[in-house]
Structure 1
Amino acid sequence: MTANTTGGCEHVHTRLHAGPIDNHTCHCSVCKRVTGQDTTHVVFYRHADVEVDNPAGLKRQPFNDQNPNGPLELCTCAKCGTPIMLDDKERRIRVIVPNLMGLDAAALSPTYHAFYDPATGAPKPSDGLPVYAGLRPDFVWPQPA
């Protein structure tokens, strides 16, 4: 477990009840569009391990505007617009982007690079972490909560 187990904003708070099940640097086009970052540090938790104290205070929108019926929703605070988390409509995972959602990114260092595509022209990461075209090969989606 990390030292910082809460995130969110003044109106909606998240609390982590267990450590992450996946922690990577994402190179996908959806993360790039949504965050405006070249790469995004993404941390997956089991759905039930991320508690939200004010779910009614969340504004939900599709995470992927090119797949609006996809399973992930971007949840922002309905009052101030702060990004809170990604929520899985299938109740398998909740996703935190530490540098945007109030958690300490340094305490949650990524363990690999996901969705790297050399066809984009971006240089292959050279930080010593494994690089994959998708999620790490041993990742197993959890059962719905």
Structure 2
Amino acid sequence: MSHKYEGGCAHVHTHADAEPIDNHTCHCSVCKGVTGQPTTHVAFFKHDDLAVDHPDKLNRQPFNASNPDGPLELCTCQECGTPIMLDDKQNRIRAIVPNLMGYDGSFPAASYHAFYDPSTGVPRPSDGRPVSEGLRSDFVWPSPA
């Protein structure tokens, strides 16, 4: 069966039929450190909207090494090490990085820039999308699933 969005690796698959509740280009230092990318396309789904077929085959580690007790865990495949998703221990969201987590190029583009910090010296994005110092101002964390 085909789904609207599908990702993962050969061993663990994720999918969603709902739209992401947030879809941004992240400029935060945590994403830069974890991905090695200067910016990272991140999409948040409501926790139960992003399904994973073999959660028992995931290794989990803190997403933010500076905050190991934080809510987000980076989930990677136990067999091949591919990053699969970010899972929220509070069951509010699951997040994906389309270009690193097996999603194809048809995934919707990010709608804004999040966590832009001018003090880093990086030029302000000028692609016409809104730029925010955090998540977009109207974003509301969903209730736990």
What corresponds to 1:113 in structure 2? 113
Amino acid at match of 2:15: R
Distance, in Å, in 1 between the alignment partners of 2:30 and 2:107 is 25
* Residue 131 (1) aligns with residue 131 (2): yes
What corresponds to 2:47 in structure 1? 47
* Residues 1:125 and 1:34: Cα distance change in structure 2 (over 3 Å): same
TM-score (norm 1): 0.96
What corresponds to 1:64 in structure 2? 64
Distance, in Å, in 1 between the alignment partners of 2:36 and 2:11 is 24
Superposition deviation, residue 106 in structure 1:
4.2
Amino acid at match of 1:134: G
Where does the alignment leave 5 or more consecutive residues of structure 2 unmatched?
Answer: none
Q: Which moved more, 1:102-111 or 1:11-20?
A: 102-111
Identical-residue share of aligned pairs (%): 69
Contact 2:5 2:107 survives alignment (8 Å): no
User: Aligned pair count?
Assistant: 143
Superposition deviation, residue 4 in structure 1:
5.0
Distance, in Å, in 1 between the alignment partners of 2:89 and 2:44 is 14
2:130 aligned counterpart, secondary structure: coil
Distance, in Å, in 2 between the alignment partners of 1:98 and 1:67 is 24
What corresponds to 2:25 in structure 1? 25
Where does the alignment leave 5 or more consecutive residues of structure 1 unmatched?
Answer: none
Root-mean-square deviation (CA), in Å?
1.0
2:45 aligned counterpart, secondary structure: strand
2:95 aligned counterpart, secondary structure: strand
The residue correspondences of 1:134-145 to structure 2 (distance < 5 A) are 134-145=134-145
TM-score (norm 2): 0.96
Distance, in Å, in 1 between the alignment partners of 2:128 and 2:138 is 19
Between Structure 1 and Structure 2, the one with more helix by share is 1
What corresponds to 1:37 in structure 2? 37
